[in-house]
Structure formats: C-alpha cells, structure tokens
Structure 1
Amino acid sequence: MSLSADLWAANSDLASRILSHGFVRGLREGSLPIECFKGYVAQDAYFLEAFARAYAFCLANSRSREDLYGFAGLIAGVLQELKLHKGYAERWRVDLDGVAPIEATRAYVDFLLETARRGNLGETIAAMTPCMRLYAFLGRSLAANSVAKLYSEWVKTYADPGFEALAAQLEALLDLHAQDTEAVRAHYRRAMELELGFFAAHI
C-alpha cells in the first residue's frame, strides 16, 4: 500500500465523521440554511487563498522540473475553486473582500502556513493532501445518491473526475517526497481534525 493510501485509511474514522456531519448531510438534503452556507463560502475562500500560498511554498522547495509543473497545476486548480466561490458570492451576495477568519479557519490556515514555512516538502504535502482527498471523497459519496438542487453545484464540483485527478496528483507527490515518519502522520491527522472543525463551525 502506498503511503498516501495508508494515511487515508488510517484516518477513515475522521472521514466517516465528516461525511455524516450535519453540515455535509445538509448539503445533500438541501436542508443546510443558506446563511450557514454563505458563511462557509466566505471562510473557505479565505482558506483557499492560504492553501494556494502553501502550494507556492511547495513550488519554491520543489526538486525537479516535474515538481514545478505539478505544483503549478495544483495552484491552477485552487484558482478554479475560487472562481466557484466567486459565483456563489455573486449569487447570494457574499462579501469575499476583507473576510475576518473565524477561529476554525485561523487554526487551519496557521497550521498550513507554519508547516509550509519550515520548508520540509514532504511534511507540507502531508498537511495539504487531506483537504484534496477528503473533498473528492465527499463529492463522490454525495453524488452516489440523490442530491437536492440547492447545493448540487457544490457536489458536482467535488465529484468531478477533474478534481479527483488533482487529489491523485497531490497524493503522488506525497508518495514521492514524504517519508513514513511520526511528523508526516501527525500532520495528516491534524489536517483531518481541522477539516472536521471547519465544517462544525458552520452549522
């Protein structure tokens, strides 16, 4: 089993908790209050900007031309997500300028950027991979059943094979650059815990 697959399996308990969380159920059922989703969109846009910066640290610490291509493509994927959020913001009048991060967002952003600034490429990728793999997992899981129209665009985005390809690309970089160390496992686990906290903060 690859390291990325082993880490995902080792954190399946948190993935299951997130899938069954009221926020995610509300996306599938269409029962999540719009105000909760609007708050999530604003905070997630703030987070994604930091996520792109963490990728930039990875790019700066990359070791080969192929790494440069890989991280540049992953940054482009984040920019596409931000365009999706901009569409939500325009539709539901969410102000994405000057977003004040809530505690859950700040904790996740600080964790990512502090890890990235230390310059250990494998540990940084380990801190970033859970976000991509988790969202691909949520998208596919929700799309496997009927989804209410209200949030179907969100589900469709993360169920898309293109997003799965980005998650797999990051996992390949994890397998290439990370060692199976206590720090790598701790960073992966911490990111999953912060994902759960992020969803919990919006319901």
Structure 2
Amino acid sequence: MTFCEEVRKETNLYWEGSFEHPFVKGIADGTLPLEKFKFYMMQDAYYLKHYTKVLAITASKAETNEDINFFLETARYINEAELELHRTVFQELGVTEEELAHFEPAPAAYNYVSHMYNAAHNGDVAESFAAMFPCPWLYQEIGGKYKDAKPGVKLYADWIELYSAPEYKEKIDVQKAMMNRYALENPAKIHVLKAHFSKSCYYEWKFWEMPWTFENWEEEVKLYEYI
C-alpha cells in the first residue's frame, strides 16, 4: 500500500466519526441550526487564516520550484477564494462587526492551528504537509459522500457543492501523490508523518464537535462538581 492508503486505513475511526457526526449530517439533510453553522464558519475563518500562513512557512522549506509554487499558489487560492466565501457567508449569517472584534478561537480550533504550526516550525516540508493534508482530503471525501444530498438550505448546498466538485477531487489526487512522494523520500520519518497526520484527523473530528456543542474555554472545567 502507498503511504496515503496506509494512513487512511489507520485513521479510519476519525474519518467515520466525521462522516457520521450530527453536524456534518445536519448540513447534508438541512437540519443543522444556522447558529451552529455560524459558529463553525467563524472558527473556520480563523483556521484558514492560519492555514495560509502554515502554507507559506512550508513553502520556505520546500526544495523544488514545483513544490514552492504549489504551497504559495494554494495559500493564494485559500486567501482569495475561500476567505472571500467566508466574507460572503458572514453577511448571510448576520455576523456583526462586534462579533468579529470580540472573536476568540475555541479550544479545538486553537489546538488544531497550534499543532500545524508546531509541525511547520519544528519539522521539514514533509512533516508540515502531513499535518495539513487531512483537512482538504477529508472535506473532499465528505463532499463525495454527500454530493447527492438536497439540504434545502442554500448555504449548506453551496458548501457541499464546493467540496464535491470534480476539480476539487483532482486537486486532492495531486496532493496524495505529493504526500506519497514525501513519505518515500523520508522513510526514517514515516512514524512522525503518521503521527502528525493522525493528530490532524482527530482535530478534524473535534472541529465538528466544537460548533455542535458551542465549545468554549470554561465548559469542560464547569463539568467538575467543585466549580
């Protein structure tokens, strides 16, 4: 098996957890409350902002012009296209300037971003990419799984359409080839690459749980009786 085939199989628990999460299924069938989607989109905008920075850091560590261009072009695409989508969606969801001014990343979003920065700053290009790749790959699989869904909510239909597009799958296929190449070039680091990849798969699942529960920094502490 290729590296991607192996790591996909080894992390399948997290992938299935994402496919079946009530947040994701709520998008597909149109039952997800808009307030939860709003919470998600604001956290996702924070995530994508830092994802572009991680891409830039990774570009600085790449050794071929092809790889450098890939990371820089991907960063530009996310910054211009996906964040523009967020700004449009923010208007539709009624996100106010006050909400943006007082925005604070939830624990799952903050921890996920920190994990990627750690891989990018302390590792090489292969390690950084291993931490970044689960996100676009998972979204492509979610898009493929629910491509025929009819949520009846335009925001949700647009979301599914974005990640189920054939050209999006083509981009993921290119990235799979890159990930497999990095693994072949770094056989001594396979366990490290798998560890970074697995943690990101876990955080992807947490990213659905986060808006579903309106996760915040005090909630878990309040679960204890002494509070």
* TM-score, normalising length: structure 1: 0.93
Q: Is the 8 A contact 2:59 2:67 kept in 1?
A: yes
Q: Is the 8 A contact 1:74 1:166 kept in 2?
A: no
Cα distance in 2 between the residues matched to 1:168 and 1:81: 20
Counterparts of 1:57-96 in structure 2 under 5 Å?
A: 57-79=57-79, 80-95=81-96
Cα distance in 2 between the residues matched to 1:169 and 1:100: 34
Deviates more, 1:136-145 or 1:174-183: 174-183
Q: CA deviation at 1:156?
A: 0.3
* 1:136 equivalent in structure 2: 140
Q: Structure 1 unaligned runs (5+)?
A: none
Q: Is the 8 A contact 2:48 2:83 kept in 1?
A: yes
Q: CA deviation at 1:142?
A: 0.8
Cα distance in 1 between the residues matched to 2:82 and 2:108: 20
Q: CA deviation at 1:161?
A: 1.8
Instruction: Say how many residue pairs are matched.
Output: 203
* 2:199 equivalent in structure 1: 190
* 1:160 equivalent in structure 2: 165
Secondary structure class of the residue paired with 1:17: helix
Q: CA deviation at 1:145?
A: 3.8
- Root-mean-square deviation over aligned CA pairs: 1.6
Deviates more, 1:81-90 or 1:165-174: 165-174
Calculate percent identity across the aligned residue pairs. Answer: 25
Give the counterpart letter for 2:69 in structure 1. Y
Q: Is the 8 A contact 1:122 1:174 kept in 2?
A: yes
Q: Which has the larger radius of gyration?
A: 2
Q: Is the 8 A contact 1:27 1:148 kept in 2?
A: no
Q: Is the 8 A contact 1:57 1:119 kept in 2?
A: no
Cα distance in 2 between the residues matched to 1:165 and 1:103: 32
1:121 pairs with 2:128 = no
Q: CA deviation at 1:5?
A: 2.5
Kindly provide the CA deviation profile for residues 62-118 of structure 1, in whole angstroms up to 9, marking residues without a partner as x: 111111221122213322211111111011122484431011110101101111111
Secondary structure class of the residue paired with 2:133: helix
